[in-house]
Chain A
Amino acid sequence: MSDKFQMRFTGSGGQGVILASVIFAEAAVVKGLHAVQSQAYGPEARGGSSKAECIISHGEIWFSKVIRPDFLLALTQNALDKYAPELAGDAVVMIDDSLDAPACLDPERVVSVPILRSAKEDVGKAITANIVAVGAINELFGLFDEDVLREAVSRHIPKGTEELNFRALSVGKGLIAPELRDKYLEENEI
């Protein structure tokens, strides 16, 4: 990791991309790192576009918005088409496998995984897609230990849904093949 790891999470309102960004910021704080999380959304509660950001660093973070993401999550085609062109060449993009990666992206830097389908079929609840994504992203970059991530998730979910959400984390983790993980681990070590 350079001095800051800048993450951007995009999708449509209601998909929980803001919560996904909050969980990574929380995990960083639990671990004793610096983190800043922010978000942008339209006036609609659901259905509008949604963008959330999280910056993790060993040092103090001032400017709170992500300018040059190291990582982009896209859960909708609209979000992907909108944010992909702004990416620097070395950014890693995770997309739901139902989406088509635009030509501007280097296929080597695109990780296409069945986030939405796994949430629905393997976890059994479509609304856990964001937590599935969290599990997958964490595994891809080897960001946080399991207990830190679970603690971060626990702080932001309704009581009684821990088991469901931890299962979603595991399903997400399982979406990342070991060789894929090894590819990005070193360059993004925190």
Chain B
Amino acid sequence: MSKAVLMQGNEAVVEGAIAAGARFFAGYPITPSTEIAEQSALRLPQVGGTFIQMEDELASVAAVLGASAAGVKAFTATSGPGFSLMQENIGYGMMAEIPCVIVDVQRTGPSTGLATSPSQGDYMQARWGTHGDHPVIALSPSSVLEAYRLTVRAFNLSEKYRTPVILLMDEIVGHMREGVTLPNPNELIINSRKMSFHDGANKQCYFVPEGQYVPAMKPFGRGERYNVTGLAHDVSGFPTNDNAVAGANIKRLLDKVEKNADDIIRTEEILLDDAETAVVCFGGTKRAAMDAIAALREKGEKVGLFRPVTVWPFPEKQLREKCAHVRRLLVVEHNHGQMLLQVQRAAAPAQRVDFLGRIDGTVITPDDIIAAIEGKEGEYHAQ
């Protein structure tokens, strides 16, 4: 009998989180992410972890940030309506530089929308949901195994860069079950935050050495006391109204993601080398694209795929490089055209950019993509 097990995307997230070392979940269950809370409630206590069902999503992120500041890798999971409520504290986590993972299993919005239907309508919210200029890392899986692997990676990036990382799932992958053979957790690379147990001069808990971007974390609740705030702060963690200090700190927060984009960004290219048309998509949409590309290739049409695995920061440079020879980019998303805007910005003037989207809660099929590729010019154009 096969070693593979049947697993749901949402379950794979929990197994990935545990493998990454997460031992705290606080959340408020919501379709289509509910299985992550359910499974966390079951699995975390088995590995010495803690599960708390909170009163709402604001409190969920607050609890997650508190747990992480105290030294435990922590995560939460939600869907669109809850993701909206989480935004303020996600920004707090970015400002106070507290690692954690926020899973958003997208459903059709706006508002409570179509609770059980797939969507990718939170793509821009993942980037700009919280206010102010802030760094964002978001990853989007397209299979159950990738949901596991990217959850591990989300924790790794979060620990490495001391910032909340968003795992941008969709209902297609969250609710889908498929056979997977999970890697041996002992063979995974696991990053943990750099700690500083040294009681430094002037309580410099946000001290960053020259040429670096990420301060080492002080253990909270042990040793030297320090301040955690969402206000602009100096290296001591205490609020400051000094514009030069505040500006430099915010610039550093942005730089730690922007200057490390090559480390953070992952993309996938399939059959791109000779492609005249590239389907650009992310998350569960890849699954329809793969069948469409296979069918078109059989007919001799030169079609390939470019998929941002890291969806934020958007892999602009990678798209330009890998798709330089491609004449036409077809952006396919379960929304009204969100990643499309990023592709239009990145595309060369001579490249045609078309769009296929869906906002009614149904799934884009391989035939839809084939029709869009073989059909006339799309609704949108880059020029």
Chain A positions near chain B (C-beta within 8 angstroms): 22, 25-26, 28-43, 61-65, 67, 148, 151, 155
Contact = CB atoms under 8 A, between A and B. Distances in A.
Given A22-B6, A38-B177, A41-B116, A65 B363 contact: yes
A36 B284 CA distance: 13
B288 A36 contact: no
13 contacts: A22-B6, A25-B177, A25-B179, A29-B2, A35-B178, A38-B172, A38-B175, A39-B175, A43-B116, A63-B288, A63-B290, A151-B1, A155-B6
Nearest to B3: A32
Contact of A38 (B176, B288, B366, B367): B176
Contacts of B176: 36-38, 64
Nearest to A37: B177
B287 A64 contact: yes
Contact of A64 (B31, B116, B172, B367): B172
Contact of A29 (B4, B117, B365): B4
B6 A62 contact: no
Contact of A36 (B31, B116, B177, B365): B177
Given A36-B178, A63-B366, A30 B2 contact: yes
A32 B288 contact: no
Closest 8 CB pairs of A and B: A29-B179, A62-B290, A32-B2, A37-B177, A26-B6, A62-B287, A63-B291, A29-B6
Contact of B6 (A25, A38, A40, A43): A25
B5 interface: yes
B6 A37 contact: yes
Interface string B71-112: 000000000000000000000000000000000000000000
B179 A34 contact: yes
Interface string B252-287: 000000000000000000000000000000001011
Contacts of B288: 62-63
B115 interface: yes
Nearest to A151: B1
Nearest to A36: B178
Contacts of A37: 6, 176-178
